[in-house]
Amino acid sequence: MSKLNTNSNVYTFIYSAVMVVIVAVLLAVVSQALAPKQQANILLDKQKQILGALKVDYSAGNPADIYMVLVNDTLTYGGASEHSEPIEVYVANLNGATKYILPLSGKGLWGGIGGYLALDEDKNTIYGVNFNHESETPGLGAKIVEPEFRSQFEGKHIRNAANEVVSVAVLKAGKHAEGQEQVDAISGATITSSGVSTMLEVNLAEYEEFLKVESNEGKEEDHVESEN
């Protein structure tokens, strides 16, 4: 400590500069080297979540392979509203029935929430749904990813009797939604629950173009089967 004057200004400046360069190079190299693997993981995670929304058990096989077999088309719609990015809808063929998967994204209490909504061919009945979140409170808001909450959505309809898209409301037990179907909110996680509700409403509005096409012939009951 004594030979070199570690308290001089010159030393402090040089030390800081060298430290910053070393750390920057180190982080840049690691980030570059690991990027392909991270991208692959993110893609795989997305595929797993879509399979989750389709209620497909992928534990036995390779999720990526199962995904490739099931999801065989992507519909792209030019940015409606202010969204510059095109909106994508995935088309899956599940045991002969067509399912549409709509990616969702919104805001929870602490950070972003997202998910995938799988619709039946009538573009009305919810087949399954999967949610994810960045940083909701464990034991409260984070419960949106659990099957107990998600399974409530199955079989609900996103359209009202007049065939307008009205989404599904997430409401506290005891409250009643006018003109739309509802599921129970997670008690103690009011903001995350209403975040899910808002996310569904806002995102479904953005899928207007996709949902509109069918609205002329769409029926209340589920009709599946037919084409491949």
Partner 1 sequence: MLSQKTKDTLLGPLNANNPVVVQILGICSALAVTVQLKPALVMGIAVTIIVAMSNVIVSLIRNTIPMRVRIIVQLVVVAALVTLVSEVLKAFAYDVAMQLSVYLGLIITNCILMGRLEAFAMTNNAWDSLLDGLGNGLGYAIILVIVAFVRELLGSGQLLGFQVIPQWCYDHGYENCGMMLMPAMALILVGCVIWVHRSLNDKEAK
Q: Where do contacts with partner 1 occur on this chain (CB under 8 A)? A: 1, 4, 6-7, 11-12, 15-16, 19-20, 23, 26-27, 30-31, 34, 37-38, 41-42, 44-45, 110-111, 134-135, 137-140, 187-188
Least distance CB 172 / partner 1 (angstroms): 14
Q: Which is nearer to partner 1, 93 or 190 (CB)?
A: 190
Q: Which is nearer to partner 1, 190 or 215 (CB)?
A: 190
- The neighbour count for residue 153, using CB atoms within 10 Å, is 23
Q: Which is nearer to partner 1, 46 or 156 (CB)?
A: 46
Given a contact cutoff of 8 angstroms between Cβ atoms, the answer to whether 142 and 179 are in contact is no
Q: Which is nearer to partner 1, 138 or 217 (CB)?
A: 138
Least distance CB 126 / partner 1 (angstroms): 25
Q: Which is nearer to partner 1, 49 or 125 (CB)?
A: 49
Least distance CB 7 / partner 1 (angstroms): 6
How distant, in Å, are the alpha carbons of 31, 85, 149 from that of 20? 16, 36, 47
Least distance CB 48 / partner 1 (angstroms): 10
E-only strand ranges, 120-205: 126-133, 169-171, 182-184
Least distance CB 150 / partner 1 (angstroms): 16
Burial class (CB in 10 A: 0-12, 13-18, 19+), 111: exposed
Report how far residue 202's alpha carbon sits from residue 193's, in angstroms, rounded to the nearest whole number: 14
Residues whose CB is less than 8 angstroms from the CB of residue 127 and which lie 6 or more positions away in sequence, other chains included: 53, 54, 55, 99, 118, 119, 120, 154
Report how far residue 209's alpha carbon sits from residue 194's, in angstroms, rounded to the nearest whole number: 25
